[in-house]
Amino acid sequence: MTGPSSLPQRKRMDLGAISPLPRSLRLFSRWALDALLPPRCMLCGTLVDEPGRLCATCWPSLDFIAEPLCPCCGAPFTMPVPVGLHCAACLAKPPRFRRARAALVYGRGGRDLVLRFKRADRTDLAAGLAGLMRQAGGVLLKEADLILPVPLHRGRLWRRRYNQSALLAQALGRLSGKPALVDGLERVKPTPSLGGLNRRQRREALAGAIRVVPKRRGALAGKTVLLVDDVYTTGATVSACIRALRGAGVAAVDVLTLTRVLRPDIV
């Protein structure tokens, strides 16, 4: 099976969402683009019927997060539970956010999607991945006033050349019609890679690292914000962002991520 690294990347835009062209012309443009760069599976690169899709072979490798789940943090339960029951972690220490949802478990195909998008310059995957996120967080999107991405420090942004969370936020904005404020938050100090750190170490590393961009405080005050990231692990990064947003007068914060790491201490 041909890998995506050996194929030309399909850099495309949502013509229907941004173009004032007549529908017939947009459809012709879509047909022409498909003829030049046929849509391919987001994981393996085989031909599919539409961009942003997965083939029948790769689809089973994704572990979707669905009911029953915690109505607060979105962690899946391993067995049926009474409606409205919160998980043990949320009961013991309620999170700073109002609700959190994720489309996929971080593992198998979910992990591969994140790594392709995040570290292999596959920015063309943003629209398809945002479609998966919209299915998981449709209610959160509907109730949001603004969509904000988790920020990267400028040094890491310079090395990577793009913020994967900002691309997801922009794609979700196009799908939902909600404004995406990609420069609402900023990392004012570099942090080490959080991989391998426990909850306490992550919290310490992120202390004072994220703030609201001063010129955006007025736009955020009183708003319901949907915070977007690619992976939810311990919630330390999300909490640092929410502390900054609360300080700017944000009314409520929901969280939507592409994937979630399932921790053994969650039912």
> pLDDT tens across 224-267, in order?
999 999 999 989 899 999 999 999 999 999 999 999 999 644 33
Confidence of residue 66 (pLDDT cuts 50, 70, 90): very high
| pLDDT of 62 higher than 50 | yes
Q: Domain residues of the chain, as ranges? A: 1-61, 63-260
> pLDDT tens across 183-226, in order?
999 999 887 677 677 778 887 778 888 999 999 999 999 999 99
> pLDDT tens across 105-126, in order?
999 999 999 999 998 889 999 9
Report pTM: 0.83
Q: What HEC string does the chain produce?
A: CCCHHHCCCCCCCCHHHHCCCCHHHHHHHHHHHHHHCCCECCCCCCECCCCCCCCCCCHHHCCECCCCECCCCCCECCCCCCCCCCCHHHHHCCCCCCEEEEEEECCCHHHHHHHHHHHCCCHHHHHHHHHHHHHHCHHHHHHCCEEEECCCCHHHHHHHCCCHHHHHHHHHHHHHCCCECCCCEEECCCCCCCCCCCHHHHHHHHCCCEEECHHHHHHHCCCEEEEEEEEECCCHHHHHHHHHHHHCCCCEEEEEEEEECCCCCCC
| Tokens describing residue 44 | 């393996």
Mean pLDDT value across residues 56-66: 96
7 and 40 Cβ atoms separated by less than 8 Å: yes
Mean pLDDT value across residues 52-57: 94
Query: pLDDT value at position 226?
Result: 98
Query: pLDDT value at position 85?
Result: 94
> pLDDT tens across 7-46, in order?
334 433 333 344 455 656 555 555 554 555 789 999 999 9
Query: pLDDT value at position 160?
Result: 87
Q: Does domain 63-260 have CATH number 3.40.50?
A: yes
> pLDDT tens across 161-188, in order?
999 999 999 999 999 999 999 999 999 9
